[in-house]
Each structure stands twice: as structure tokens, then as C-alpha cells.
A and B are shown apart, each in its own frame.
Chain A
Amino acid sequence: MKSIRVSAAACLAIAFLASGCERRHVRWYELPPGTIEVPVDSATAARNAIREPGVLGTVETIPVVGWAGPDGQPFEVARRSAALEGGHARVFGTITLPVSLRAGAADLSQYPCTACHQGRKLVMEDQRIKDAHQNIHVVHPKQTGAHCATCHSADDVQQLALRSGEHSTLDESYRLCAQCHFEKVEAWAAGAHGKRLDGWQGRRVVMACPDCHDPHAPGLQPRVPFRAPQLERTKGLHP
């Protein structure tokens, strides 16, 4: 494991030297001007717009695929026990409600990851990684010591690593979350947890886990509520 880390770091250092050595005033993780841009196209703008209530617009979706089931339906939530390392998945629940997922990875501020991670490799415990991702304060998952590779694939930085050895795209992050939060994901797939988009009729489009929960700090912050009602209420007479 150590050798992998070292070689990956070397890889990145070479990439850094190759791209940034003659431009000393540019910090290494700042992109050379004009080379790589993450365009905010109309499709991305439309996806962003659905975060505003009342402006649902067009929702780009990907079908939710249960990894234990064939081609999506029925959706199955599998529980993988840590004790069963590489062992069989136990199907926790089966949900027959068809569901589509809001595809939101492209909304990420530093997406695509390959814009910086030219080598596509993830370098762990490197100060430069921390510098480049200062907005990320990892508090979750606490139990594992919050190691990047707990969730991110070391081989492909834009993929998530599942305990089974499989990879998952960032849009299908529910597969990763379900490894521990299987009950929540079951409720989410059935409609009792999370937010539904579009209408009550027709296709079911739901928001994915990271649309509400920052994966690195999933708790929600307190907010100031909308104003209180001005009408007086006769206490005791009304509910």
C-alpha cells in the first residue's frame, strides 16, 4: 500500500513539475489559463435551477440500478457487513417503486476531478491535496479515520470505491452510502426519505444523497426560519 502511495505521489509531482514549473506565480493546483475549463452549459444550469423551489425545469436523470438486481428493477438495497469482507451481499429489502435519480455530479464546483488530477490517481495524506480541497472538512465517516480512500477509488479519482471492489460513479453515490446506511437508502428508494422532484404523477425523480448531505460532513446546519405567523391563536382551543 505504501509503495502505491509513493508512486502515485511521484506521478503527481511529475505532472506538477511538467505543467507548472515555468509559471512559478501560479500555485500548482490552479489551472493554466485557457487549457481546461469546466463549462457551465445550459443543461448544467437547468439542473442547478431545480434546487430553487418552483423552478423544476428539465431534470436530467439516470436510472437507479440495484447492484444485486438485474438492470434496475426491482431496486434492491443490499447490506454488506464489514465482517463479510468481500463476502456475499445480503439483500435487505426489495422495492418495486420505479425511481430515477437526479444526476448532479456535474454541478460539483471542482468537477471533473480530472481537470486537476491528470493522472486520475488519488494521492493520500498529501499536504497539496489538503491545499487544493480546503473547502472539505472531513468529519464523516469518523469510525474509519476519515481516509480519502475509504470512499474514493485510489485508482480512479472520479469513481467511488465500494467494499465489494466495484466502482461506482459519483452520481450513483447511493451505492456507497447504502453500505452502512442501508435502512435509510431503502426508505429513500421507496420515497420516505429524501426529496422527490417533478410531480407526484409520472416518473419518480429523486434527489441523490449528496444533494442534501455533504458527504464529508453530512449533518445539516441550523438556519433562520421564514417569518412567524402574525395571527394570534387562542391557546388550548386549537391544535
Chain B
Amino acid sequence: MSSDPTPETPETTEDGSLLQKPVDRRGALGLLLGGVATGVAAASACSPLSAATPEERELKRLEWEEFTQKHYRRMTEAERAETIARLERLAKLRHNEEATIATTDAQPGVLFGYAFNISKCKGYRRCVEACINENNLDRRSDTQYIRIFEMENGVVDLSDADPTYQHEVPAEGHFYLGTQCFQCADPPCVPVCPVGATWQEPDGIVVVDYNWCVGCRACMAACPYWARRFNWDEPEVPAEEVNPNQHYLGNRDRHKGCVEKCTFCIHRTRQGRLPACVEACPTGARVFGNLLDPNSEIRWILAHKPVFRLKEELATEPRFWYFAD
């Protein structure tokens, strides 16, 4: 932090002008666009910007800074801190959220893996409920990362399976299989991104920089598991239901036009906690751990249980195994 290359952002003037701000190459575009916006606003609206409340002026300024934000992986530490402070303030201004956005990096020597016990899952969908609440998923479109398929015994064919069952579970003669992002070792969604807004972290989690995403949805087309979700509209979460424990690459505020996905609850798992779906599962059908730790539960399962993965022939190498016992 001491070698901060970016000077402190000064207070804006009373009319919201940004001209007091020291300019670098990146900021110049923002200023230019900001100036245009100010001009347009002043020309089109009868009331000039100076008539707006201080909060509205601050929001406008921060939104323009957000618009010209760098790619997450190219930010210096100081720029990250500045971005986080801005996003937290924006969450407060936009949705009255008291969010804390972490930028915790991957732990060294950790590669996350997941195992799903198809003989224990009873289809309660408690994982889905926990995921929605934990990851601040859009309530209006009812976005869900996890789907639980009701499968007939003896068949592992998801094209005939029913993810929309709504009756008492478990149903006779059926088993349940859940899908979500498998955090593939060779993720087809990553190289297709034209702007590099999605990538794989060292601990195996495939993440999205929502601010860098242009919403082309190529990653969604590339994913053979339908793991990604698109925000067709501005996502809505009631303020009292927002989970304030957030991560930049995870459950922070998304906006209309960006792609999002399961991150194995990056804000929890990088702190040594379990993903919300694992914690919520009442049957213990979900197992999560470090693949590089030979004493982990997941390694024991891989060594002792019959395991399979979905669409293995595509060689995407999912780090998500199904097992039965």
C-alpha cells in the first residue's frame, strides 16, 4: 500500500465536477465520458447536476468510475482497494447494502474438488435454497445455480430426467443427481470469452469479472453443463435478504447484461469454510475438500468409492465427481 502509484481521489467539487481529479491514461477516458454525460444531462434536463442531492452526484461519479474500471487481474493492489471501496459504496448507494467485498486470493497448495453422493441425495433442494440466499441470486428471474434431477433408477441420462419435480421426495424408484458448475480443469467456457472476463483461479475455481464481461454469452454456449446464468434484467434481491459477506469474484452485486456462475462459494471456501450447498445439505450427500491434501475426505472418496463424472468424453475434466455407496 505504501508504493501506491495512484494518488488519492480528491473530493469532488460541489457541482459534481471531476475536473479536480488528477488524470492518468485510464482516467482520461472516464473524464471524457463523464464530461459528455454531464453535458448531455445538463442539456437534456431542465435541472443541472448541481440541483441533485450529494448522494446522486456521488452515485453518478462512482458509476462512471466503475464504467472505466480495469480488469481485475490487471489491477495493482492499490487499485483493487480503491475498486472495492467504490463497489461497497455503490452497493450502499444503490441498494442500501452494508456489503463487505473481499478479494481473498487462492490459498497455496489448494485445489478444490467436490463429490456428490447419488445414493444419499433425497432431492430436498435445501442446497438450492441456501445457494440463492448465500450468493444473492436474482429473485425476480428466480436464478438458480444448482439443479437437482429426479432420475429413474438404473438410468444415468439427464435428457430424460426431471429437474422440475414438485412432490414429496424421495419418490419411489428414483434417485437424485445435482448439477452446478463443475469447475472443470479444462473449462471450455474460458477460452471462448472474447475479452478474457472469465478465467480459472489457482485453486480451480472458474470466476467472472462481472464488470469486464460484455454479455456476449459465448461462455454459456460453450459450457456443456449449462452452468452459467445470464442477467437479462437488473438482478433484484430484497435489502433485508442480502448476504453482506461478499467476494469480488463471487456473490457481490451483479448487473444487467453480465454472466454469472457458481464459484464454490469463493467467499466462504477461501476462508476454510464449506460452500453453502454443502452446509445446507441435510443428508451429507455433498462432500467438499482439497484435492491436493491426501488426508482429505474427497481424496478418500476418490480412492475408495466408485465415481463417475458427467460427459467425461468431452475431456473437460470436471472437478466434480458423483459416487454411490
A:213-239 near B, CB below 8 Å: 220, 222-231, 233, 235-236, 238-239
Residues of A contacting B125 with CB < 8 Å?
Answer: 225-228
* Contact, CB under 8 Å: B142 / A231: yes
> CB < 8 Å: which of B130, B144, B295, B298 contacts A54?
B130
- Min CB distance B216 to A, Å, is 19
* Contact, CB under 8 Å: A199 / B129: no
Q: How many Å lie between the Cα of A7 and that of B300 in the bound state?
A: 50
* Contact, CB under 8 Å: A199 / B281: no
Residues of B contacting A95 with CB < 8 Å?
Answer: 300
* Contact, CB under 8 Å: A227 / B166: yes
Residues of B contacting A204 with CB < 8 Å?
Answer: 297
Given contacts A191-B287, A229-B147, contact A222 B168 (CB under 8 A): yes
Residues of B contacting A230 with CB < 8 Å?
Answer: 141-142
Residues of B contacting A225 with CB < 8 Å?
Answer: 123-125, 148, 165-166, 168-169
Q: Is A207 an interface residue (CB 8 A)?
A: yes
Task: For B133, give the chain A residue with the smallest CB separation.
Answer: A54
* Binary contact readout A37-71 vs B (1 if CB under 8 angstroms, 0 otherwise): 00000000000000001101000000000000000
- The majority secondary structure among interface residues of chain A is loop
- Min CB distance B175 to A, Å, is 14
Q: How many Å lie between the Cα of A201 and that of B226 in the bound state?
A: 29
Q: Is B225 an interface residue (CB 8 A)?
A: yes
Q: Is A192 an interface residue (CB 8 A)?
A: yes
* Contact, CB under 8 Å: A228 / B163: yes
Q: Is A193 an interface residue (CB 8 A)?
A: yes
Q: Is B248 an interface residue (CB 8 A)?
A: no
- Of the candidate stretches B63-71, B85-93, B255-263, B267-275, the one touching chain A is B267-275
Q: Is A84 an interface residue (CB 8 A)?
A: no
Q: Is A96 an interface residue (CB 8 A)?
A: yes
- Of the candidate stretches B9-17, B35-43, B73-81, B304-312, the one touching chain A is B304-312
* Contact, CB under 8 Å: A233 / B163: yes
- Min CB distance B310 to A, Å, is 6
Q: How many Å lie between the Cα of A190 and that of B296 in the bound state?
A: 9
Residues of A in contact with B, size category: 35 or more
* Contact, CB under 8 Å: A202 / B122: no
* Contact, CB under 8 Å: A201 / B325: no
* Contact, CB under 8 Å: A53 / B280: yes
> CB < 8 Å: which of B170, B274, B289 contacts A222?
B170
Residues of A contacting B130 with CB < 8 Å?
Answer: 53-54
* Contact, CB under 8 Å: B226 / A192: no
Residues of B contacting A196 with CB < 8 Å?
Answer: 274, 278, 284, 287, 297
- Min CB distance A55 to B, Å, is 10
* Contact, CB under 8 Å: B295 / A239: no
Residues of A contacting B164 with CB < 8 Å?
Answer: 228-229
Q: Is A17 an interface residue (CB 8 A)?
A: no
* Contact, CB under 8 Å: B276 / A54: yes
* Contact, CB under 8 Å: A190 / B122: no
B:19-76 near A, CB below 8 Å: none
* Contact, CB under 8 Å: B274 / A239: no
* Contact, CB under 8 Å: A191 / B300: yes
Task: For A194, give the chain B residue with the smallest CB separation.
Answer: B284
> CB < 8 Å: which of A56, A193, A231 contacts B144?
A231
Q: Is A212 an interface residue (CB 8 A)?
A: yes
* Contact, CB under 8 Å: A239 / B224: yes
Residues of A contacting B115 with CB < 8 Å?
Answer: 192
Q: How many Å lie between the Cα of A223 and that of B166 in the bound state?
A: 11
- Min CB distance A56 to B, Å, is 7
A:94-116 near B, CB below 8 Å: 95-98
* Contact, CB under 8 Å: B297 / A195: no
Residues of A contacting B283 with CB < 8 Å?
Answer: 195, 212, 220
Q: Which residues of A contact B (CB under 8 A)?
A: 53-54, 56, 95-98, 187, 190-196, 198-202, 204, 207, 212, 220, 222-231, 233, 235-236, 238-239
Closest 7 CB pairs of A and B: A191-B297, A201-B272, A195-B284, A226-B125, A53-B280, A238-B226, A230-B142
